A and B are shown apart, each in its own frame.
Chain A
Amino acid sequence: MAHDADVLTGAGALAGEAERYGHNLPLIEGNKTYRQVTEEVFAPTERRPPLRWWLAISVTLSMLTLGAWAVFQTLTRGIGTWGLNRTVGWAFDITNFVFWVGIGHAGTLISAILFLFRQRWRTSINRAAEAMTLFAVMCAGLFPIIHMGRPWLAFWATPYPNTRGSLWVNFKSPLLWDVFAISTYFIISLTFWYIGLIPDLATQRDRAKTKLKRVILSVFSLGWNGSNRTWSRYETVYMLLAGLSTPLVVSVHTIVSMDFATSVIPGWHATIFPPYFVVGAVFSGFAMVLTLMIIARSVMGLEAYITTRHLEAMTKVVLATGMIVGMAYATEFFTAWYSGNPYERYVFLNRALGPYQWAYWTMVGCNVLSPQFFWFKKVRTTPWMIFILTIFVNIGMWFERFVIIVTSLHRDYLPSSWAMYRPTFIEVAILIGSFGLFFTLFLIFTRVLPMIAASEVKGVLKHGDH
């Protein structure tokens, strides 16, 4: 089904291919019973975490602590602790912001778009991917606040009646659009995730051994009892939310891209940015999902649920989006050359040949070259290779934002103001801390909530056999 629509997006095309596999391969391996699914999905939340988990979280908590210290330094001493200057006013901060927002795209995309396209293979990964979205958006949301010179006044970016003659906010500012886009995205993603979680919370509630756990789960499962009348409405709501989330996903990175696209800075001012950013976000998001899933499935023993087929389907999305991203890079150069605008031309030459060329070529190598390995089935089906390649993609996508932000700013119109940017330790620590926050939350999530949507998996358990 939906093959016409499939050609429109790489994701759809490859998902369609995955669909074709669906007729002869099981989605869930091992011919599980419903009870087995329940037991296996909920087991991690009910037993003591293994040593590996403790090791992992001690590492991520250390990273988080480092980041918290760096944020504290920033807040108490000022943005002067960063390496920014009069010419380069944004660097690591907004790079990290865009990076994390981009990561946050895969979750809702997998959930919503694949749901709308009835891609059943999404069921094993959507829960974790959505959780990842939330955590990534939380990481992202941190940066617009701490990058402010006076973060204690961040609430001024919200329109509320006040005693200043009611001085509102600037609805023409892309940064304000960001405020609305990111907060809407977070709230809707959270809602979507939570709605999907309710049946599993009910299962978890029914299995709860301790009073406290039971009470908490009772509160959050909202009296769920599996009633078909509720299921019926639930499916409607889920469909509606998926329908709302899909354009929302696209809108969020579109709006983020407008931070740059609506400016006058050569290298930023580009109409190609919205689609380019959205695809880049999907690219990085899928890569991050893959990275996480490959770890999670081996650590949590969920290979039967997150099968090589899942991984392979996602690598194809990564390959397709990676090529679109590569196309976008080429288009940017063409546009710059074709425009005849000397500033625009200079910025792109400077990206490739200037002082930040190492960042540019890192980006090209990671984002354009490394996905090419996914042409080989052997690579697509070997988790460790996928793992390494997706790490490269993550690195590449971080550098993409860095390149866009820093190389455009550091040499714009007036050569007199050209300057270099060098990050300080504080900025690096905040980046590390954001990874710490992300992974810490994810690790806690894997122990507290079912990482796989049990109720959805049960629904497709029998499907592969047809």
Chain B
Amino acid sequence: MKTWKSLGERRGTVRARRAEFEEELPVGESVRQISRRDFFRFSGLGFAAGLALGCKSKVVEKAMPYLNAREGLTPGVAQWYATTCGGCAAGCGVLARSRDGRPVKLEGNPDHPVSRGGLCAIGQVQTRGLYDEDRLRAPRLDGKDTDWAALDADLARRFADLRTSGGAVRVLAGTILSPTLRAAVQGFLGTFKDGRLVEADALSCAALAAAYERTHGQRLTPHYRLEEADLLVGIEADFLGTWIDPVGFTRAYADRRGPDKPRPMSKHIQIESGLSLTGSNADERVRLAPSEAVPFLEALARQLGLAVEGGNLPTDLAAKAEAVAHELEAHRGRGLLLCGLNDLRAQELTARLNHALGHEGVTVDLAHPSLQKRGDDRALEALLREMAEGRVAALLLLGCNPVYEQPAAFASAFDRVPLRLSLALTEDESAARCTHLAPDHHWLEAWRDAEPVAGTLSLAQPLIQPLFATRDAVESFALWSGRPQLALQALKKHWEVDVFPRQKAVADFETFWNAALQKGATQVEAGGAPRYREGRVEGATSAPRKDGYELLLYAKVGLGDGRHAHIPFLQELPDPITKATWDNYAQVSPATAARLGLEQGDLLRLRPEHHALELELPVVVQPGQDDRTVAVALGYGRTAGGKAGLGVGRNAYPWRAFAGGFLAANPAPLQVRRGQGRVELACTQDHHSLEGRELVREMALAPYLRDPASARPEEQPGPSVYAPHAHGAHRWAMVIDLSACTGCSGCVVGCQVENNIPVVGRDEVRRKREMHWLRIDRYYTGSEADPGVVHQPMLCQQCDNAPCENVCPVLATVHSEEGLNQQVYNRCVGTRYCANNCPYKVRRFNWWEYPHQSELARLGFNPDVTVRSRGVMEKCSFCVQRLMDAKITAKNEGRELKDGEALPACMQSCPAQAIVFGDTQDPDSRISQVLRDPKRFLVLGELGIGPAVSYLTKIRNITPEANQGGHHGA
């Protein structure tokens, strides 16, 4: 039945349609329980009998108060705790909402100097990682659950042997952001004759640090200050999505992205082979194959007067390199060059260019280097060698999963280590091969600290007592060192000794400590910047390849390096660019797809030449991608570590190899063969064109600056037959700045967590039944080869004359006097008429009773939001529970609600500060000011439905002649 399909979404064999549903959901068992209840409700006895069976005398309900009251602890009242996100090594500041003594929501901490209030998708779901059924609940010894005493006894014996024998003890860790933990690990290793810490990141930036070792004599990662840059040139660096510190970078980037910011709008040029989130936000993009990136840099360097060999480029690219060089020249001292390649030559060129252009000390901060990526690939390579030679007696894994994320050689070498100990939270691929498991606390249960940028320290305090028999890594290492110490003591001591003296402002440690706890972060002195050293650029030049396919390995915004692949929220988060969920795939450019006769979903067999591993992946046709590049996401294909991640996608990590001591995608030509059949990808968006519709407005910067009023849309909604209805004390409205929004999707997940929105699984997404209340529509404009990209967050527009309201027969959706379009779940009978009549298609229907029965997972639900049953419509409520909470708090304190006090979850954590929300009844509120912005336009305003959400025209910092993409809009 080919006719059922549209051109863009022809599908072949649909794999395993129904069976997958139950498996993919986080908790499968409960589906059955629920349906049994419904079964009785209807069990063939007719409707009345069904009604009667639905009745039940409620069981005796317990009411269990606290045993002891505590100052400031009130059941039902949320407390906010400042802490530090442990989702990755970026160390963003987090505010955790604690209800009844457990964390239910994480948000960005505006007081944190690096992340400044932003939080990414991965950070937002961390509570779900805490209440995860797949966590290890006790230590294990040789594959069997045991208790800590037994494990410690066994370890003590083995460590004692090693101390006497002098066997090599290695701790392999992802970047350890916590100075206290690092000290504990170092202290532990210090008790051995041959103990060493090896840090290795799955998404490695080792070459960057190594380059600075060559240029400045010190292995460091600079802290890039995007807010200072007038010109940003990114080379294969997805700094808004996955590179080093995406939240901090996005926050800083947003400071300069938009025509009405305090400082002039920056210009962003992205040079890349795939279309990354960062590239999708660039004003100009240069497409090149991965092998052309280093020559491009060489060409830049030569243009800018550095004595470098190479720089052989095809003529069109050479011209572009010249243009970019001119731009850099023009912005000398105010620009920034960022390179995401894990290639020493590339990074050294970048470092030397940044120095030569006078960026150091302005946009490249070496005095306060970033400590977020400390992985050293050379050390890892050395460790691998040691292991393979059988010279490692004990390997302790801390916050890493090398069997999964390192080259295949690791796994076999790992088995040669006699004592294999992992501190992982779940039984991941590496933990499954360990002899000892000493599960660490989830970071929300632990006392930690973090120093993301030298001199900026933040504290992480636990939000709940440990749920399981886990132990803080700090305590474990202290104990194994023979100096048992509680984590809080260790932390406090470390701060008293090492941190407190580095500042002068506060004289009393307790005050300093308490202030840091409450604020979440503190800034102290850091060392000075190292000096530049002239030198020859390392490595030989390589000519770009002329033909054949090249492999690009990248990380997805939602999944990152894959360590959280077992959290279904992240699997279901649509990739900001492809809008695909629950899979990784082989991205090819439209031209390549046409040449190979490929369509979306066709299976493709890929293998780097001479490599053992061949992967079969579905094709995604990716506009804007280089024609010779095949891009595959990392982080998929988990085989252990949690149900949701199992069997989702394929693991491409083994395709990385050491090149000159740094892990990078296998540079061998990629063999591409057609596979058998097709897979239906679970995409949330199938149509990528605006179809010539004025749904998004765009404008170039220069004409806007000449005449800001010209941005005002010509067409205004016509008059209404009816008089507008009255509003009460407040009237809520939202404005989304399309110039600022990067599409990072943090809001999507934040909304999902705040509002108890279910994850539905791959099959349901395939059926277009994802539940996200807030989605980000991504449109391509212009040519397929070089498209303009627009990210448009789309949520319930809370229309004043909402079309959904009229049609509900039972008054389940009506208007509030504060201008909210209210959806009353308990009144809804589920006709779906409202969803049909919604022009924005933002209403979501509960097609099934989604499983919510896991008692553990239910702890993570927001207790202020009803968990919807099947058959009920739901949609964005402007986080009405938060508005109510803010209003109640203000009223209880006997004062008026302040502007900025009531914030929806999406707005709170937006790293780009793209969302403004507030009360339009207050003429001084920020929203009232933004509403007067000439750039403001309504989506489908011509329907006269009066949406309360409006958008600001996307301004692109393009010069008219660079506007070859034929961008749509004003």
- Which A positions have Cβ atoms within 8 angstroms of B? 72, 75-80, 83-87, 89-90, 144, 147-154, 156-157, 167-170, 172-176, 179, 259, 262-265, 342-343, 346, 354-358, 409, 411-420, 422
- A-chain residues with CB within 8 Å of residue B830 when the two chains form the complex: 79, 148-150
Q: Is B770 a contact partner of A167 (Cβ separation < 8 A)?
A: no
Cross-chain contact of B808 among A83, A170, A417 (Cβ < 8 A) = A170
B813-851 interface code vs A (CB 8 A; 1 in, 0 out)? 000000000000001111111011101110111111100
Q: Is B809 a contact partner of A76 (Cβ separation < 8 A)?
A: no
Question: Would you call B113 an interface residue if the criterion is a C-beta within 8 Å of the partner chain's C-beta atoms?
Answer: no
Q: Is B41 a contact partner of A152 (Cβ separation < 8 A)?
A: yes
Q: Is B809 a contact partner of A176 (Cβ separation < 8 A)?
A: yes
Beyond A72-B42, A150-B870, A264-B839, 6 additional contacts (C-beta under 8 Å) are A76-B42, A86-B835, A156-B810, A173-B806, A416-B685, A420-B768
CB-CB under 8 A for A414 and B50, given A76-B38, A80-B848, A419-B686: no
Q: How far apart sit A86 and B875, CA to CA, in the bound complex (Å)?
A: 11
Q: Is B3 a contact partner of A358 (Cβ separation < 8 A)?
A: yes
Docked complex: B662-695 residues within 8 A CB-CB of A: 685-693, 695
- Of B50, B686, B830, the most chain A CB neighbours within 10 A belong to B830
Closest partner residue, chain A, to B50 (CB atom): A152
Question: Would you call B897 an interface residue if the criterion is a C-beta within 8 Å of the partner chain's C-beta atoms?
Answer: no
- B-chain residues with CB within 8 Å of residue A168 when the two chains form the complex: 811
Closest partner residue, chain A, to B944 (CB atom): A264
Question: Would you call B779 an interface residue if the criterion is a C-beta within 8 Å of the partner chain's C-beta atoms?
Answer: yes
Closest partner residue, chain A, to B691 (CB atom): A415
Q: Is B833 a contact partner of A150 (Cβ separation < 8 A)?
A: no
A-B contact pairs, 26 of them (CB 8 A): A76-B35, A77-B38, A78-B871, A80-B764, A84-B845, A84-B847, A85-B768, A86-B770, A89-B832, A149-B831, A151-B829, A152-B50, A152-B51, A152-B54, A174-B807, A175-B807, A179-B809, A262-B807, A264-B943, A265-B839, A346-B691, A413-B839, A413-B841, A415-B690, A417-B685, A422-B4
Cross-chain contact of A167 among B686, B794, B811, B828 (Cβ < 8 A) = B811
Closest partner residue, chain B, to A419 (CB atom): B768
Cross-chain contact of B810 among A80, A157, A412, A413 (Cβ < 8 A) = A157
Q: How far apart sit A86 and B778, CA to CA, in the bound complex (Å)?
A: 18
- B-chain residues with CB within 8 Å of residue A409 when the two chains form the complex: 836
- B-chain residues with CB within 8 Å of residue A179 when the two chains form the complex: 809
- Of B792, B808, B832, the most chain A CB neighbours within 10 A belong to B832
B755 smallest CB distance to A (angstroms): 16
- Of B769, B828, B871, the most chain A CB neighbours within 10 A belong to B871
Docked complex: B100-138 residues within 8 A CB-CB of A: none
- A-chain residues with CB within 8 Å of residue B810 when the two chains form the complex: 153, 156-157, 169-170
- Which B positions have Cβ atoms within 8 angstroms of A? 1, 3-7, 9, 35, 38-39, 41-42, 44, 47, 50-51, 54, 685-693, 695, 764, 767-770, 775, 777-779, 792, 794, 803, 806-811, 827-833, 835-837, 839-841, 843-849, 869-873, 939-940, 943, 945
Q: Is A80 a contact partner of B4 (Cβ separation < 8 A)?
A: no
Cross-chain contact of B827 among A144, A148, A156, A418 (Cβ < 8 A) = A156
B868 smallest CB distance to A (angstroms): 10
- A-chain residues with CB within 8 Å of residue B41 when the two chains form the complex: 76, 152
- B-chain residues with CB within 8 Å of residue A79 when the two chains form the complex: 830, 832, 845, 847, 870-871
- A-chain residues with CB within 8 Å of residue B873 when the two chains form the complex: 149
- B-chain residues with CB within 8 Å of residue A417 when the two chains form the complex: 685, 840-841
B938 smallest CB distance to A (angstroms): 12
Closest partner residue, chain B, to A80 (CB atom): B847
Q: How far apart sit A153 and B50, CA to CA, in the bound complex (Å)?
A: 12
Cross-chain contact of A154 among B769, B829, B849 (Cβ < 8 A) = B829
Q: Is A169 a contact partner of B767 (Cβ separation < 8 A)?
A: no
Q: How far apart sit A84 and B833, CA to CA, in the bound complex (Å)?
A: 13
B799 smallest CB distance to A (angstroms): 10
Cross-chain contact of A342 among B689, B692, B778, B836 (Cβ < 8 A) = B692
Q: How far apart sit A415 and B579, CA to CA, in the bound complex (Å)?
A: 13
Q: How far apart sit A45 and B169, CA to CA, in the bound complex (Å)?
A: 96
Closest partner residue, chain B, to A418 (CB atom): B687
Inter-chain residue pair count (beta carbon < 8 A): 199
- Of A72, A75, A152, the most chain B CB neighbours within 10 A belong to A152
Q: Is B872 a contact partner of A150 (Cβ separation < 8 A)?
A: yes
B804 smallest CB distance to A (angstroms): 10
- A-chain residues with CB within 8 Å of residue B835 when the two chains form the complex: 86, 89
- B-chain residues with CB within 8 Å of residue A77 when the two chains form the complex: 35, 38, 848
Q: Is A169 a contact partner of B846 (Cβ separation < 8 A)?
A: no
Q: Is B695 a contact partner of A150 (Cβ separation < 8 A)?
A: no
Cross-chain contact of B806 among A72, A149, A152, A172 (Cβ < 8 A) = A172
Q: How far apart sit A416 and B940, CA to CA, in the bound complex (Å)?
A: 14
Closest partner residue, chain A, to B843 (CB atom): A86
Q: Is A150 a contact partner of B840 (Cβ separation < 8 A)?
A: no
Q: Is A414 a contact partner of B832 (Cβ separation < 8 A)?
A: no
Q: How far apart sit A288 and B717, CA to CA, in the bound complex (Å)?
A: 46
Q: How far apart sit A417 and B848, CA to CA, in the bound complex (Å)?
A: 21
- A-chain residues with CB within 8 Å of residue B50 when the two chains form the complex: 152
A410 smallest CB distance to B (angstroms): 8
Q: Is B845 a contact partner of A89 (Cβ separation < 8 A)?
A: yes
Cross-chain contact of A420 among B4, B778, B808 (Cβ < 8 A) = B4
Q: Is A150 a contact partner of B809 (Cβ separation < 8 A)?
A: no
Q: How far apart sit A436 and B600, CA to CA, in the bound complex (Å)?
A: 41
Closest partner residue, chain B, to A156 (CB atom): B810
Q: Is A76 a contact partner of B871 (Cβ separation < 8 A)?
A: no
Q: Is A265 a contact partner of B836 (Cβ separation < 8 A)?
A: yes
Cross-chain contact of B871 among A87, A150, A356 (Cβ < 8 A) = A150
B827 smallest CB distance to A (angstroms): 7
Q: How far apart sit A416 and B38, CA to CA, in the bound complex (Å)?
A: 35
The 10 closest A-B pairs by CB, nearest first: A149-B830, A149-B871, A80-B847, A89-B832, A85-B768, A416-B777, A417-B841, A150-B871, A355-B6, A80-B848
Q: Is A355 a contact partner of B5 (Cβ separation < 8 A)?
A: yes
- B-chain residues with CB within 8 Å of residue A87 when the two chains form the complex: 768, 841
Q: Is A152 a contact partner of B35 (Cβ separation < 8 A)?
A: no
- B-chain residues with CB within 8 Å of residue A259 when the two chains form the complex: 833
- A-chain residues with CB within 8 Å of residue B769 when the two chains form the complex: 80, 85-86
Q: How far apart sit A76 and B9, CA to CA, in the bound complex (Å)?
A: 32
Closest partner residue, chain A, to B768 (CB atom): A85
CB-CB under 8 A for A149 and B832, given A265-B839, A414-B840, A415-B779: yes
Closest partner residue, chain B, to A170 (CB atom): B811
Cross-chain contact of B687 among A90, A175, A415 (Cβ < 8 A) = A415
Closest partner residue, chain B, to A150 (CB atom): B871
- B-chain residues with CB within 8 Å of residue A357 when the two chains form the complex: 3
Cross-chain contact of B841 among A86, A263, A422 (Cβ < 8 A) = A86
Q: How far apart sit A75 and B39, CA to CA, in the bound complex (Å)?
A: 8
Q: Is A343 a contact partner of B848 (Cβ separation < 8 A)?
A: no
Q: Is A415 a contact partner of B693 (Cβ separation < 8 A)?
A: yes
Q: How far apart sit A409 and B4, CA to CA, in the bound complex (Å)?
A: 15
Q: Is A78 a contact partner of B870 (Cβ separation < 8 A)?
A: yes
Closest partner residue, chain A, to B840 (CB atom): A414
Q: How far apart sit A173 and B811, CA to CA, in the bound complex (Å)?
A: 9
CB-CB under 8 A for A263 and B767, given A76-B38, A152-B54, A416-B777: no
Q: Is A147 a contact partner of B831 (Cβ separation < 8 A)?
A: yes
Cross-chain contact of B44 among A72, A150, A156, A176 (Cβ < 8 A) = A72
A409 smallest CB distance to B (angstroms): 6
Q: Is B845 a contact partner of A76 (Cβ separation < 8 A)?
A: no
B361 smallest CB distance to A (angstroms): 44
Q: How far apart sit A264 and B840, CA to CA, in the bound complex (Å)?
A: 11
Q: How far apart sit A309 and B957, CA to CA, in the bound complex (Å)?
A: 78
Q: How far apart sit A168 and B849, CA to CA, in the bound complex (Å)?
A: 27
Q: Is A415 a contact partner of B870 (Cβ separation < 8 A)?
A: no
Q: Is B803 a contact partner of A86 (Cβ separation < 8 A)?
A: no
Q: How far apart sit A156 and B843, CA to CA, in the bound complex (Å)?
A: 21
Q: Is B5 a contact partner of A149 (Cβ separation < 8 A)?
A: no
Q: How far apart sit A150 and B831, CA to CA, in the bound complex (Å)?
A: 9
Q: Is A86 a contact partner of B777 (Cβ separation < 8 A)?
A: no
- A-chain residues with CB within 8 Å of residue B779 when the two chains form the complex: 415-416
Q: Is B940 a contact partner of A90 (Cβ separation < 8 A)?
A: no
CB-CB under 8 A for A175 and B831, given A170-B810, A263-B803: yes
